[in-house]
Amino acid sequence: MPEEIWMVAVFTIPLVAMIGGITIAIVRVVGQQRLAELARRERIAAIERGIDPDKLPQAHDLDGFDPYGAGNGRLRRAHGLLIGGFILIAVGIGLMVLLQQVEPSKSHWVLGLMPLLIGFALLAASRVVWPKGKS
């Protein structure tokens, strides 16, 4: 009986993680849409009160504070790829060192190559996506 419980637990952990990730993504999108809707309503109410529309923030500014500047999604994407690449490179090197120390006679350290190579691929993708003229 305990072995059956263990087998069920092994499969429920990734299932809960996937469902949780999807739920978080849905909640985030719904929250962003709600904020954009409230910003549009506020803009309409201000125009109805007689405020000059030219003095109000533009539509792309209604999503809130953007530390990368309005409309610069490429820089944000490049930063995400860069961070993910460095993390995966560190994980790959860590796995290689750990597995080499655990069983030096076997070549299990090769398992660390996968995250290492994915990390390098993300760094290359970051370089491709990086906006021209921004260093």
Kind and range of the H or E run holding 53: none
State whether the Cα torsion 33-37-42-46 is positive or negative: positive
Q: How far is CA 53 from CA 34, 45, 56, 64, in A?
A: 22, 11, 5, 18
Percent of the chain with pLDDT over 90: 25
The domain of 5 spans 1-64
In this structure, the answer to whether residues 73 and 50 fall within a common structural domain is: no
Same domain membership, residue 6 and residue 56? yes
pTM for this prediction: 0.51
pLDDT at res. 91: 92
pLDDT digits (tens, 9 = 90+) for 27-84: 988 988 898 888 888 888 888 888 887 777 765 544 444 544 555 677 888 898 999 9
Stronger pLDDT, 12 or 134, i.e. the higher one: 12
* Pair 60, 109 in one domain: no
Residues 74, 53 share a domain: no
pLDDT at residue 46 in the model: 85
Please give the pLDDT value at position 62. Answer: 46
Domain boundary among 64, 84, 111: 64
Region 1-11 average pLDDT: 73
Instruction: Examine the domain organization and report whether 19 and 40 are in the same domain.
Output: yes
Do both 12 and 50 map to the same domain? yes
Give the pLDDT of residue 114: 92
Same domain, 36 and 74: no
Mean pLDDT on 86-110: 89
Length of the chain: 135
Same domain, 58 and 105: no
Specify whether 73 is located in the same domain as 125: yes
Domain count within the chain: 2
Q: Based on the fold, state whether residues 14 and 45 are members of the same structural domain.
A: yes
CA proximity to 95, closest of 122, 125, 119, 79: 119
Name the percent of the chain lying above pLDDT 70. Answer: 87
Question: 113-129 vs 73-102: helix axis angle to the nearest 10?
Answer: 160
Mean of all residue pLDDT scores within the chain: 82
Q: What's the average model confidence in pLDDT over 6-14?
A: 77
